[in-house]
Amino acid sequence: MEKSFKKYLLFWFGGSVSQLGSAMTSFALILWTYTQTKSAMAVSLMSFCNYLPYILVSLFAGGFVDRHRKKTIMLAADSIAAICSFFVLLCWRSGELKIQYIYAVNCVIGFMNSFQIPAQSVAVGILVPKDKIARMSGMDSFSTNLVSVVSPVLASSIFAFGGLGAVIAADLLSFLFNFALLLIFIKIPEELSKAPRGASVLSGCFDGFRFLFRHKGLWYIIVTMAVLNFFSRLTYENILSPMILARSGGNSLVLGAVNMVLGAGGILGGLIISLRPFKVSSVKLIYFSAGASFLLGDLMMGLGKNAVWWSLAAVWASLPIPFLAAGQRMILYQMVPQELQGSVFSVRNAIQYCTIPAGLLLGGYLADFVFEPFMQSGSGASAALGQLVGLGNGSGMAVMFLCTGVLGAAFSLMAYQKKEIQDLEKSGL
């Protein structure tokens, strides 16, 4: 095994431990916020405050990332996130913690993520040989989905026995472990951008856009991923929990089981892609996986009326996602020169994720004020749809899953047939 890939394994392990700690704190803060406010909108705003600065600053962070040491950026960003967690801990212990403080902390963390995430992506490209990118992506999907399954269980248990403070303390310990591992044991050889360090913050943004405009196939992949992210945030990443609770009579055990299966599907997909090399083109991996996730996952979730069907839908929704992620990463690392990766990845993140806040807000609005009232209206159209999804609470959200299933699958197929995408595939990617 190459020496650099062994370093990546350490890098991946430390990052996974830190990711688990952060996810536990995020879940515990959701629990604390909901118990204090009883408001779903208050919880949604937590994610919104994290995403918005991340998207806005990502446009300008790339040049900075290219001109500075990636290891230093990651250590600094993680340290500031840890300071934010420590601030929340102090406020909680003194009885002064307020929801406004959590929003502010999430904004700071989102700001730092705009630097930390592209720096981490570039570091991965340095440490991992190009022929192992798919394996790396599978490992990343495996750890991310494992964290999504394990973190709510651990956070709920620690929260029940030790409160919010105990969860944040565990998060800080995971930070110290990852910080020491990265600082002492992982050396990242890199080539910095030749642009002067005093260059305008806009220079990296312009460099990223210029590169993407010159490579139309890559540009179209990023734009189409933004559209697919919008569809996924309308339903799966947004109203899945309310729909299942509404249709199961508020059964939290059913919701927990479906969420665990959702994570398990991603874990299985990550294992498959990391252990078995695939000869399918990267372009096919992206669009066929996306289409399968929407067509099978969303449609089955909308049509399902019990925990068994919802669990099967969760598997079909999450299993293809690691394949999609692997396809996109293989194209990015093969096409983008190392000295431009910070700029290109930052612009890519801003574009690809800019639709997420809109999807989160619009999905909740459509569920509460459009689809749920429509399915309770007693009209002929609602009765016809009721033959497919059933009637009663949650049926409107089920119809939304049918819509995203059809739209997401159709859009994936049309995007794959785009000339620029076909040219990219013919080039061997």
Domain assignment present for 230: yes
Examine the pLDDT at 227 and tell me if it is beyond 90: yes
* Closest C-alpha among 71, 347, 296, 306 to residue 192: 71
Which residue carries 């209206």 as its tokens? 377
Task: Tell me whether residue 405 is in a domain.
Answer: yes
pLDDT at 315 over 90: yes
How high is the pLDDT of residue 277? Answer: 67
Counting the structural domains of the chain, the total is: 2
Nearest CA among 364, 359, 357 for reference residue 407:
359
What mean pLDDT value characterizes the chain? 86
Q: Is the pLDDT of residue 1 over 50?
A: no
Reduced to 3 states, what is the DSSP secondary structure of residue 204?
Answer: helix
Domain assignment present for residue 194? The answer is no
Domain membership flag for residue 191: no
Q: What is the mean pLDDT of the segment spanning 53-61? A: 84
Are residues 272 and 418 both part of a single domain?
A: yes
Residue-level pLDDT at 39: 62
pLDDT tens, position by position, 136-172: 888 888 888 888 888 877 887 888 888 888 999 999 9
Residues 402 and 381: their CA atoms lie apart, in Å, by 15
Q: Does residue 175 share a domain with residue 292? A: no
Q: Are residues 224 and 84 in the same domain?
A: no
Q: What is the pLDDT of residue 201?
A: 60
The verdict on 213 and 344 lying in the same domain is yes
Q: How high is the pLDDT of residue 192?
A: 63
Q: Which stretch of 9-23, 212-226, 352-366 has the lowest confidence by average pLDDT?
A: 352-366
**Cα–chain center distance at 126:** 22
Q: CA nearest 234: which of 111, 349, 110, 371?
A: 371
User: Between 39 and 344, whose confidence is greater?
Assistant: 344
- Which letter does DSSP use for residue 295 in this model? I
Report how far apart, in Å, the C-alpha atoms of 191 and of each of 331, 338, 366 are.
21, 7, 48
In this structure, are 179 and 207 located in the same domain? Answer: no
Q: 143 lies in a domain?
A: no
Any domain includes 142 = no
What is the average pLDDT across 265-273?
A: 90
pLDDT at position 2 is 56
Q: What is the mean pLDDT of residues 14-40?
A: 81
pLDDT band at 263 (very low <50, low <70, confident <90, very high): confident
Same domain, 348 and 415: yes
Same domain? For 271 and 404 the reply is yes
Residues 167 and 208 in one domain: no
Positions of E strands within 101-243: none
Instruction: State the CATH number of the domain containing residue 54.
Output: 1.20.1250.20
- 407 in the same domain as 261: yes
Torsions phi, psi for 194 (to 5 deg): -80, 0
Q: In the prediction, which pLDDT does 254 show?
A: 83
Does 274 lie in the same domain as 380?
yes
Residue 271 has pLDDT above 70, yes or no: yes
Q: Which is higher by pLDDT, 27 or 20? A: 20
What pLDDT, in 10s, does the model give residues 163-210?
888 999 999 999 999 999 999 988 888 766 555 555 556 677 888 889
Domain boundaries, position 17: 1-133+150-184
Binning pLDDT at 50, 70 and 90, where does residue 410 land? very high
For the cut 70, the answer to whether the pLDDT of residue 121 exceeds it is: yes
User: Going by C-beta distance under 8 Å and a sequence separation of 6 or more, which residues neighbour residue 365?
Assistant: none
Q: Is the pLDDT of residue 360 over 50?
A: yes
Give mean pLDDT, residues 231-255.
81
User: Does residue 116 sit in the same domain as residue 51?
Assistant: yes
For residue 196, being part of any structural domain is answered with no
Residue 366 confidence (pLDDT) above 90:
no
74-119: pLDDT as tens digits: 999 999 999 999 999 999 999 888 889 999 999 999 999 989 988 8
- The mean pLDDT value for 299-319 works out to 93
**Mean pLDDT within 21-25:** 88
Report the Cα 328 to chain-centroid distance in Å: 14
- For residues 302 and 209, state if they share a domain: yes
CA distances from 158 to 152, 163, 165, 166, 371 (A): 10, 7, 9, 6, 38
Q: Is residue 140 part of a domain?
A: no
